[in-house]
Amino acid sequence: MRFGVPDGDMPDSLPPPGWGPAPFDERDLDAVLDGNTADVTVALRPVAEALAALRAGPAAAELYGEADAMAEFRSLGLGQAGRPATTMPLEALPAGAPARPGRRPARHRVRPARRHPLRRAVLRPAVLSAAAAAAVIVVAVLVPGNFAGPLRVIAHMASPSAGASFPKSSTGRSTAPGVETTSAGLETTSPPSPAQSTASPQSVLSNSCRAYYSYYQHPEGLSSWLTELSLWDQLTKLVGTDKRTKVYQDCAPYVKDLFPGGVPAAAQNQLPGRPGQESKSNGDVGQQSGAPANSRNGSGSSTVSNGQASSGQASSGQGDPAGGGSNP
């Protein structure tokens, strides 16, 4: 009995609680912190289990913020790797950085000076004037060769009726009633031109006559017809009159071999280009030969040789329009 307690109730052979070595040391604690729970002491096993529960997998509530984080990830320009690019990413260069090789530095565009309206207004008429002058020159070169003929054709076509109404002399004077006319100058021959004076007048006349009357042997197209008109003009100048009978009389010696079967009437009285059209006059070669032209057919064809085309009016202001249309 000791301190009022029997010896069998509290034997002193057992150590008091808390005595003896500690149940774990610092190495065991470090092992638990590092997650090594294999050799952990029994005293630390509840602690190790609690720490393992802290390392457990995520709960659903712990993953709710992923959408917000992903939105921030995308808003900062990231998160576009798996998507098709809508814009081309450009490299951001700091200010003053040298340009990348292979690219020209940017330049300011220089706008062309706007042309003043007044200057344009001045230049436009000048350009138009120059173009018009060039066109006139071209026409002046081309018209005498190509278009003089047709104009004369028109004059010749109008001449028979006009000549029937208002016989004109070679000088252009009208023979309309009330107008005194004279035929003194009808037989005159115009002086030879300087070009003709250089060659023999007979040879020139012969060539012109043969060239002109050969048309009646071989009537051709329009181009030949125009040529004949030119020859006719030349011939009238050589003969000095535009009367066809007179012209033929002068050309007869040179063209008789062209018509061995007889000279057609058209060759004497008809206009070139209108073969087949009979003249109002009676064109007998034998009768016309050597006869005055105006005495035979009583009509003088108005030609363009004097620059006037008869159209029923008296030329040079000498004719009387009111009295036209009747043959005296």
Partner 1 sequence: MVGEDFAALLGAAQRGSEQAFSVLWRDVNPALLRYLRVVASEYAEDVAAETWVQVVRGLPRFTGDETAWRAWLFTTARRRLLDQVRLRKRHPSEPLDEISPMDIPRTADAEQVAMDNMATESAMALLSKLPEQQAEVVFLRVVAGLDTEAVAELLGRSPGAVRVAAHRGLKKLATLLSEAGVTL
Q: Does 31 bind partner 1 (CB under 8 A)?
A: no
Among 11, 46, 125, 260, binds partner 1 (CB under 8 A): 46
Among 1, 5, 38, 54, binds partner 1 (CB under 8 A): 54
Kindly state the smallest distance separating residue 18's Cβ from partner 1, in Å. 12
User: Which residues, numbered 117-176, are part of the site for partner 1 (CB under 8 A)?
Assistant: none
Q: Does 278 bind partner 1 (CB under 8 A)?
A: no
Q: Does 57 bind partner 1 (CB under 8 A)?
A: yes
Nearer to partner 1, 3 or 64 (CB): 64
Residue 71 burial class via C-beta count within 10 angstroms: exposed 0-12, middle 13-18, buried 19 and up: exposed
Choices 68-76, 125-133, 252-260, 287-295 (CB under 8 A): range interacting with partner 1:
68-76
What is the C-alpha to C-alpha distance for residues 125 and 120, in angstroms, rounded to an integer? 9
Kindly state the smallest distance separating residue 36's Cβ from partner 1, in Å. 12
Q: Does 91 bind partner 1 (CB under 8 A)?
A: no
Read out DSSP for 42-69?
A: GGGHHHHHHHHHHTSPPPGGGGTTHHHH
Among 68, 91, 180, 257, binds partner 1 (CB under 8 A): 68
Question: Which segments of the chain does DSSP mark as H helices, in order?
Answer: 26-34, 45-54, 66-75, 117-146, 148-165, 194-198, 201-217, 222-239, 244-255, 265-269, 285-288, 293-296
Q: Kindly report the number of other CB atoms within 10 A of residue 280's CB atom.
A: 13
What is the C-alpha to C-alpha distance for residues 59 and 25, in angstroms, rounded to an integer? 34
Give the largest Cα separation in the chain, rounded.
Answer: 202
Write the binding mask 70 to 89 for partner 1: x where contact by CB under 8 A, - elsewhere: x-xxx-xxxxxxx-------
Q: Kindly report the number of other CB atoms within 10 A of residue 293's CB atom.
A: 26
* Size of site (CB under 8 A) for partner 1: 41
69: Cβ–Cβ under 8 A, 6 or more apart, which residues?
none
Interface residues toward partner 1, by CB under 8 A: 24, 26, 29-30, 32-33, 35, 42-47, 49-51, 53-60, 62-63, 65-66, 68-70, 72-74, 76-82
